[in-house]
Chain A
Amino acid sequence: DAGITQSPRHKVTETGTPVTLRCHQTENHRYMYWYRQDPGHGLRLIHYSYGVKDTDKGEVSDGYSVSRSKTEDFLLTLESATSSQTSVYFCAINAREGDTEAFFGQGTRLTVV
């Protein structure tokens, strides 16, 4: 398995609280992504990073922010969690421009109550 870990694996939080999910890689890959996966929607891109301090928005970025201060870590923050952000979150890494081979973490199941 590619060296990519997500933490925590499961989290329950209350509406209005901030939440940070962490993605850590040991592969030194340039590209890192955060996706959410919901029934009927498949994987949707929240934010991605193409280098340290280089990030950009995906298709469902509202309510989320990210930071990448080191190559190996990509943090996803829900600034004020809402019930609509209950989902399974996947981090992925990718080494090369134009390559569709992404390695995924195990996922984080987040429940906002």
Chain B
Amino acid sequence: KNQVEQSPQSLIILEGKNCTLQCNYTVSPFSNLRWYKQDTGRGPVSLTIMTFSENTKSNGRYTATLDADTKQSSLHITASQLSDSASYICVVSAPGGNNRLAFGKGNQVVVIP
């Protein structure tokens, strides 16, 4: 079973609207969680990191939340733009040592005019 589950798998939103992406993880112990953005044909790029003690963090129009008790995180995109069309990937540091990372399959977002 994947240690990181994301939903919805894909969504289409109108330019200017908001959307929220979900990430549930089972990794324990938990160190930190990071959201990446992957544009088509490119490698993923880090958007924001959430540590155990943080609940909310913003990076421009992106706001991430974390509930370490329920092992859930969300990424909220405000006033979406066409450039937000991408895959958003949730990553958690996996147990077992040697810095393995547990990746979700991503949320595919398409913003239409």
A: residues with CB less than 8 A from B are 31, 33, 35, 40-45, 48, 50, 56, 58, 90, 92, 94, 96-102, 104-107
Interface residues on chain B, size class: 20 to 34
Which residue from A31, A92, A100, A107 sits with its C-beta under 8 Å from B33?
A100
CB closest residue in chain B, given A31? B99
Please list 21 pairs of residues, one from A and one from B, whose beta carbons are closer than 8 Å in the complex, sorted by A's number. A33-B101, A35-B103, A42-B89, A42-B104, A42-B106, A43-B44, A48-B98, A90-B44, A92-B43, A98-B31, A98-B32, A98-B93, A100-B31, A100-B101, A101-B34, A101-B46, A102-B46, A102-B101, A104-B44, A104-B45, A105-B43
B98 and A107: CB pair below 8 A?
no
Query: Counting CB contacts under 8 A, is B1 at the interface?
Result: no
Residues of chain B lying within 8 A (CB to CB) of residue A45:
100-101, 103
CB closest residue in chain B, given A51? B98
B99 and A40: CB pair below 8 A?
no
Residues of chain B lying within 8 A (CB to CB) of residue A99:
32, 93, 99
Given A43-B103, A48-B100, A56-B98, A100 and B43 contact (CB-CB distance below 8 Å): no
Residues of chain B lying within 8 A (CB to CB) of residue A105:
43
Assuming A40-B105, A100-B31, what are 12 further A-B pairs, CB within 8 angstroms? A31-B99, A42-B103, A43-B89, A48-B98, A90-B43, A97-B98, A97-B99, A100-B33, A100-B92, A100-B101, A102-B46, A104-B44
User: Hey, what's the 0/1 contact readout for B30-49 against A, CB within 8 Å counting as 1?
Assistant: 01111000000111111001
CA distance A94 to B43 in the complex (A): 14
Min C-beta distance of B109 to chain A, whole Å:
15
Query: Counting CB contacts under 8 A, is B23 at the interface?
Result: no
B46 and A42: CB pair below 8 A?
no
Restricting to B11-58, which residues have a CB under 8 Å from any CB of A? Answer: 31-34, 41-46, 49
Give the most central of A41, A42, A44, A100: most B CB within 10 Å: A100
Query: Counting CB contacts under 8 A, is B91 at the interface?
Result: yes
A42 and B41: CB pair below 8 A?
no
Residues of chain A lying within 8 A (CB to CB) of residue B106:
42
Residues of chain A lying within 8 A (CB to CB) of residue B49:
100-101
